[in-house]
Amino acid sequence: MPDRAPRTSVATHCPYCALQCGTRLGHGASGTVVEPSDFPVNDGSLCQKGWTAPAVLDVPDRLRRPLLRGPDGRLAPAGWDTALDTVATRLRRIRDEHGPDALAVFGGGGLTNEKAYLLGKFARLALGTSQIDYNGRFCMSSAAAAGNAAFGLDRGLPFPVADLGAADTILLAGANPAETMPPLMRHLRKADLIVIDPRRTKTAERAALHLQPVPGTDLALALGLLHIAVSDGWCDKEYVQERTTGFDAAWRRAVTWWPERVEQVTGVPVAEQRAAVELLGEARRAYVLTGRGAEQHSKGADTAAAFINLALALGLPGVAGSGYGCLTGQGNGQGGREHGQKADQLPGYRMITDPEARAHVARVWGTTPDALPGPGRSAYELLDALGTEGGPRALLVFGSNPLVSAPHSARVAERLAALDLLVVADFVPSETARTADVVLPVAQWAEEEGSLTNLEGRVLRRRRLLPPPEGVRTDLEVLHGLAVRLGEPAHRYPTSPRQVFDELRRASRGGTADYSGITYERLDAGEALYWPCPERPGGQPHPGTPRLFLDGFATPDGRARFAEVDHRDPAETPDADHPLYATTGRVLAHYQSGAQTRRVPELNDAVPEPYVEIHPDTAARAGLREGGTARVTSARGTTVARVRLVGSMRTDTVFLPFHHPGAGRANLITGTALDPRSRMPEFKVCAVRIEPGSDAP
């Protein structure tokens, strides 16, 4: 078909993080080649993951045919009709016997807007289930809950990334962009950086000031910084009076967190606390940015809210040249949560419990509001319920590898094994795919059209360079094929990304994340379109909204809300059996569960195996040596990793990357305590003991 013909080159975007760096893909003598473009967020640069992204297109174990698990327990190739017929037949049988909520869907923050949208529609109409969530719950949910409460709207950065380049001071709480999104550092070069992180990361090494708190005490530190801002006269009283509400209640909490008490709880010296506030207060242009280190806690939403409180007291949000933002992680972490693959949301960032939202989306979908299910389980709660009494008995996974990325992964493995049916759509045999009953091979980023929304709320076009390999289908084609076999009308599930996007526009119209004024034509013409971008009567195009809140916040009265929050301990603290804190995170060479980057020789050679960073004194007490192996044990399990001695580590803390599978999974030890508002698991702190290991990682 003409639309499957390969092109000479295309302008597109990197498939990894939420920066969505601009690239140009083309054909070279050695295959597909990539060059950076002058897109504003990367300004002509790429990190090593971006440079090597084309290598994943041709990995030796690329999935090219559907696989079915046979009576002998092995996965064997099958035709597409056989695979889809098998899945549909078994889904119908389970639904008939146990009801629609016995079927579940788990999506991903790397799916395009079109795929995320159609996946949510498929779950709620074709399956009739409420049981859908996605791995973005593990990424942005705490900041989203805090942002919605404070501003009435959640967009990772309510301003363009390039605005950071003019900042005088930037506070980074729990973020390490020097490794997780290196091109962002080009925008941070001129600012004095204040980095809050228990580790001395690559970002902290570049900081003017590094605050190194005890893991799990970020909320106490944020309360203390607010205390100093008010007590030492840095509070912008006019801004607080004119543009906010709730200050008095927030201050009643913060007033008890005087600097000496904060030092006692967090370990951050009083002088460093004051220096941080002074840097922010004296700056003409300042930003407060949070990342996963502050948010992946059982009190992550409150912690993000406390940093928002600090930003509000200093008069930063909604002011040109200053602000608060959250560094979204996954490639489409922003768009992926806006259009319906989250348990409690419908397209346009509408809440599924809102009668008006249900009525609007039902009209677009050609059904009735009563036909739409209600909210389902959040991501970890969904995984934890698999195969249990009253829980889902079948799971379809698109764009995720929860066997590695979810907390308490041994428990997740047990739950996946207890299912009657596990179906995984992927382009490589991830660890989760290897355990599936049916594996469906799908197209990769360079083989598909679509759109994504980056961390600044800018909607971007993904363009295809190559057709998918023979035997591979797109996710939209998979959803169409299953929906039709389940009795849905074929026209309800288009396979053309452009058609799906046009429907998404209608479904989002009038919602918080309104895309109705955005078209492929406008994006292809090079327009920079940030949502909200509503369709205007009379056809006059809306320019989009690169900077939110300048004229008021998205609340009924236009004022931002301070949050009344207080510090509490993490769900787990060290004791005699588990005397150390463990924290997890990403490293430069790898991405998320590592299913892609571990298949790129250059990246895998950089970090070929799991490791644990530990202070030399702590290692000596545990009988560990550089390069040896260590067993890191929590109340949930043990992981094995290579020892790296790091003199800048806290003596009470160890760090493990979470990109590796098998016995080296960091998530074998992480906990399952959830934030009560965001349902975010507590990835960033658990109690462990560490001892010499006998086996290689």
Query: Shortest CA distance to 92 belongs to which of 483, 518, 607, 415?
Result: 483
Q: Average pLDDT in the 145-153 region? A: 97
Residues 6+ apart with CB under 8 A from 394: 90, 91, 94, 102, 103, 104, 419, 420, 421, 422, 423
pLDDT tens, position by position, 26-80: 987 778 999 999 999 999 999 999 999 999 999 999 999 999 999 999 999 999 9
In 257-366, alpha helices (H)? 259-266, 270-282, 292-295, 300-313, 333-336, 355-365
Both tokens assigned to 184: 């962002």
Lowest mean pLDDT among 2-16, 317-331, 671-685: 2-16
To the nearest 10°, report the CA torsion of 313, 319, 323, 328.
Answer: 140
Instruction: Specify whether the CB–CB gap between 447 and 15 falls below 8 A.
Output: no
Cα(200)–Cα(177) distance, integer angstroms: 13
Domain 580-692, CATH = 2.40.40.20
pLDDT of residue 696: 59
pLDDT of residue 695: 61
Instruction: Specify whether the CB–CB gap between 44 and 34 falls below 8 A.
Output: no
Other CB atoms within 10 Å distance of the CB of residue 202: 16
Q: Which CATH architecture group holds 144-327?
A: 3-Layer(aba) Sandwich (3.40)
Q: What mean pLDDT, rounded, does the chain reach? A: 96
pLDDT tens, position by position, 510-521: 999 999 999 999
pLDDT above 90 (res 637) = yes
pLDDT of residue 697: 61
pLDDT of residue 6: 61
Share of the chain above pLDDT 70, in %: 99
pLDDT of residue 328: 86
Q: Is 85 exposed, middle or buried (0-12, 13-18, 19+ CB in 10 A)?
A: middle
To the nearest 10 degrees (0 to 180), the angle between helices 270-282 and 259-266 is 120
- Residue 370 CA, chain-centre distance (Å), reads 31
Where are the domains positioned within the chain? 67-138+332-442+474-508, 144-327, 580-692
pLDDT above 60 (res 667) = yes
pLDDT above 70 (res 530) = yes
Cα(233)–Cα(354) distance, integer angstroms: 42
Query: Shortest CA distance to 309 belongs to which of 377, 385, 257, 384?
Result: 257
pLDDT of residue 3: 41
Both tokens assigned to 278: 């002074």
Stated as kind and residue range, the H or E segment containing 630 is strand 629-633
Instruction: Specify whether the CB–CB gap between 674 and 380 falls below 8 A.
Output: yes
Residues 6+ apart with CB under 8 A from 105: 119, 122, 123, 127, 129, 131, 132, 341, 395, 396, 397, 398
pLDDT above 60 (res 501) = yes
Q: Do domains 67-138+332-442+474-508 and 144-327 have the same CATH topology?
A: no
Cα(511)–Cα(561) distance, integer angstroms: 21
Query: Shortest CA distance to 140 belongs to which of 162, 108, 113?
Result: 108
Q: What does residue 391 show for φ and ψ, rounded to 5 degrees?
A: -95, 170
How does residue 1 score in pLDDT terms, banded at 50, 70 and 90? very low
CATH class of the domain at 67-138+332-442+474-508: alpha beta
Q: Average pLDDT in the 680-689 region? A: 97
Instruction: Specify whether the CB–CB gap between 309 and 250 falls below 8 A.
Output: yes
Stated as kind and residue range, the H or E segment containing 384 is helix 379-385
How does residue 2 score in pLDDT terms, banded at 50, 70 and 90? very low
Query: Shortest CA distance to 109 belongs to which of 342, 344, 325, 301?
Result: 342
Cα(184)–Cα(41) distance, integer angstroms: 7
